[in-house]
Copies of this chain bind each other. A is one copy, B any other.
Amino acid sequence: VSQTSEPQVRIGEVADQVGITARTIRYYEELGLLGDPATRAKGSHRLYTEADIARLRELVRLRDLLGLTLDELTELAEAAQLQQCLRAQWAASTGDRERATIVRTAIPNVQRQLDLVRARQQHLADFAAELEGKLGRMHTLLADLRRQSTGTPARR
């Protein structure tokens, strides 16, 4: 039954595109971070859709940029999983009221991610300011030393 469905891509290319290894993808599947491998004959090749790739990219970003553990990712992922599930219901649900409910339940999940990003940004800004201060002091010090060795009196 070869429907004209979305193109499927193999694990190696997915790994290259996302910037991780095939091992990592298999490990995440083992932990249940990716949607079930559904029906895949034991030993046959894994195939991924564009949606799967986007999902992996998000997981990797949350891991790398926010330093979340895979346990924490699982939590967030379960929420996103539910979101995915709701997205499927979306087409089926015709009522605006139902649709509104679906969107409302999805919002806090995204909001939480944004909060985490904001906190990270704050810490990085602090760090950057500190490094800049350090660098600035070193440069003025250098300038002072140069002035002294050329006979120019240092300001102060």
Contact = CB atoms under 8 A, between A and B. Distances in A.
Interface of A: 61, 64-65, 67, 96-97, 99-100, 103-104, 106-107, 110-111, 113-114, 117-118, 120-121, 123-125, 127-128, 131-132, 134-135, 138-139, 141-142, 145-146, 148-149
Given A113-B131, A128-B118, A149-B96, A65 B138 contact: no
Given A106-B138, A121-B124, A124-B120, A146 B114 contact: no
Given A99-B145, A145-B100, A149-B96, A135 B123 contact: no
A131 B145 contact: no
Nearest to A114: B131
Nearest to A64: B67
A128 B117 contact: yes
Count of identical protomers in the assembly: 2
A96 B144 CA distance: 9
B134 A124 contact: no
Given A121-B128, A124-B124, A103 B141 contact: yes
A56 to B, nearest CB: 15
A146 B104 CA distance: 12
CB-CB nearest 7 A-B residue pairs: A100-B145, A114-B131, A96-B149, A96-B145, A117-B128, A103-B142, A96-B148
A29 B98 CA distance: 58
